[in-house]
Amino acid sequence: MKICLFTSSLNRGGAERVFVNLANYWHTAGHEVDFVVLSTGGTLREELDAGVQLIDLREHYNRMPVRFASIFAFAKYLKAARPDRVFATLTYVTITALWARKLAGYTGRLIVRQANSLSNQSSQSLPVRIWNWIGYHLAYRWADIILVNSKNSEAEVAEMLPSLKSKLKLVYNPVIIGDFISVKTPKEAPVILSSGRFARQKDFPTLLRAFKIIRERCEAHLIMLGDGPDRKQIEEQIRELGLVEHVTLKGYVSDPGTYYQEADVFVLTSLWEGFPNVLVEALAAGTAVVATDGRGGSREIVESILPDNIVEVGNAQQVADRVCETLEAMPSGVTLKNYVSSRFALPIIAEQYLKL
């Protein structure tokens, strides 16, 4: 089968990583895979298998505005390559793919993936919101399947586009199950881990307030993976809370597997998510998680295995309480990994994609 995966770039976002993992898996399984992007920049390029055909649409742009140039460029690709299946992710890309389908007269299977919560798009500029509204209410009719990765996203899309409810399909994000260390390395103090872009969505101020409370109860160290526009504010809050010696900012880490395995508890304090891959990755490493009940898939991931570890958004006290209680009664790492293997492993999810 010839499969096209279409996304914006090879930047280190969750949606892009999902597509890279799927592309590599399908190529290894013997499929012909094209990975089409609007820009080849990004650190994930190094992780894409050499046998996957990387196609940069910018090479086909002309002098027209970028939005229209990308539509014509992808239409040209569809006419020439004729893939059997097209998977597109991220709103800008999904709308581009659907307009290109109409222009090219593409008759293969085209599946658009809604990667994040629709309710977080109100902060976007007016022209972008207008473009997206037109895309959702017109172009999305041309999709064969609208793929969502959480029940929250499914409900949001169904509410916005009730006439397209029959096109909705829920498939969770895949995770690669790596080597597993069943026994944590002894440490002088428990290690709390977080990971994500330093931006409002992740609500790291709540995490830091919670960690201040945790420190009042026991010795602990917080490691934060990631970077972003709010880094200076986070550094300032760390100083104000007197946590400089107890918090380590590691910046972006391309392979966080070692950190997951060494941590005692992983904490996610997001206001919203699509499907937070970091929670699944932490559980796959045998590490307990605590997560806020924000819009998105956090509850769906955590509730079935650690039902008490879903807490109220923005409630630092609840976060701290659950972290401390989890440290006192650590769940079995083997149980956590087996749970992930049965629901989110890459081979299982990749097969679900192809059955759509």
Residue 155 contacts by C-beta under 8 Å, 6 or more apart in sequence?
A: none
pLDDT along the chain (356 residues), means of 10: 96 88 97 95 90 90 79 96 97 95 97 77 74 91 96 91 96 84 72 96 97 95 96 98 97 89 96 91 95 92 96 98 96 94 96 94
What's the pLDDT score for residue 120? 58
Full-model pTM: 0.87
What's the pLDDT score for residue 181? 60
DSSP, res 175: B
Phi, psi (rounded to 5 degrees) for 106 = -70, 130
What's the pLDDT score for residue 131? 86
State the Cα–Cα distance between residues 85 and 151, nearest whole angstrom: 24
What's the pLDDT score for residue 179? 65
Q: Would you say 273 and 114 are in contact if contact means Cβ atoms under 8 Å apart?
A: no
What's the pLDDT score for residue 180? 60
Domains of the chain, CATH where assigned:
2-170 (3.40.50.2000), 191-342 (3.40.50.2000)
State the Cα–Cα distance between residues 210 and 94, nearest whole angstrom: 38
What's the pLDDT score for residue 78? 98
